[in-house]
Amino acid sequence: MAAIEEILDLEAIDRDIFRGPAIHSELTRTFGGQVAAQALVAATRTIDDDKFVHSLHGYFVSPGASEKPTVYLVDRIRDGRSFSARQVSAVQDGEVIFSMQASFHVPGDKGIDHSDVMRDVPDPDELADDRSHLPASSRAMLAEWGDWDIKVVNSSEYDTNPYTATHQVVWFRSKKELPADPTFHVCTLAYMSDMTLLHCAVVPHPDHPVQMASLDHAMWFLRPFRADEWLMYDQISPSAANGRALVHGRIFNRQGDLVAVVTQEGLTRTLEPGQKVIPMKNLEPEA
């Protein structure tokens, strides 16, 4: 996989039209986090410096081809005094593969202040990078993301909520230092947020092979952070039914500040014989 700087380096084709590069990948379909991150970059390129993104909501309309570039068309929905809104369409071969709306807000507004508390888990430096207990599809995806430190915490290492159907805790960060620009870190986290999240839905079903793909993706950016410092991704799946799973993640920095929240619905359809869990070139089909 290419460096995140290359992934987020969009070419300006015309006013509000950008092109994201084709990125070499073992995935046959474009990674959802890549499309979401590039769409967010395109939106931020049309926003004045006095506003910062605070939320995005996107739908993966159809699978993209990883070997092809993607064109991003930005609509300037609104520019107000405190908020701006953008709509972005990601296009390949004339067809929309992803549609996103993003909202931007001026910093410094005053109001109430509270936050959830981070789960008590081992520090990432205390964890061995042992992936042997993970399913083959998870190990294959982790191998795809070589530029990232990703450590899945064993569930025996933390207390679980008895009212939660499934849970997964992951520490992750960029292995290399990233540019200082806060917007770059936000767009990078949009890319990272699609890593491992849908896999938390299959934790209680280790022997049930499913076909997985992201269907929609929503994020809220709550507090400043750096994507090259350890972040804890606390994931649950409140429901799985009808071939779809709802997954939810809270992202904390190492100091325990809640910096972002993610919600996604994904395809978790029972896998037919001969199909792959994830469309990867070197991942063997299920028997």
Q: What is the pLDDT of residues 103-131, one digit of tens each?
A: 999 998 999 999 999 999 999 999 987 66
Q: What pTM did the predictor assign?
A: 0.92
Torsion sign over Cα 53, 55, 58, 64: positive
CA distance 247 to 232: 16
Which pLDDT value is given to residue 26?
72
Q: What strand order describes the sheet that includes 148-153? A: 11-14, 17-20, 70-79, 83-92, 95-105, 52-60, 210-221, 258-270, 244-253, 231-241, 167-174, 148-153
Nearest Cα residue to 69 out of 92, 89, 88: 92
User: Residue 109 class from Cβ within 10 Å (0-12 exposed, 13-18 middle, 19+ buried)?
Assistant: exposed
Q: Give the pLDDT confidence of 52-85 residue by residue, as tens digits.
A: 999 999 999 998 888 899 999 999 999 999 999 9
pLDDT class for 206, splitting at 50, 70, 90? confident
Give pLDDT, residue 135. Answer: 60
pLDDT of residue 17: 98
> Is the domain 4-106+129-270 a CATH 2.40.160.210 member?
yes
Q: Would you tell me how many other CB atoms lie within 10 Å of the CB of residue 188?
A: 26
* β-pair type (95-105, 148-153): unpaired
Residue numbers annotated as active site? 194, 214, 264
The two three-digit tokens of residue 165, written as one number: 């159907």
pLDDT at 286: 52
**CA separation, residue 188 to residues 38, 44, 158, 181, 199 (Å):** 9, 13, 28, 11, 20
Tell me what percent of the chain is helix, strand and coil, each rounded to the nearest 5. Answer: 15, 40, 45
Mean pLDDT of 208-217: 92
Tell the residue number behind the tokens 């981070």, with chain if given: 118
Query: What are phi and psi for residue 198, nearest 5 degrees?
Result: -65, -25
Q: What is the average pLDDT across 260-267?
A: 97
* All structural domains of the chain with their residue ranges: 4-106+129-270
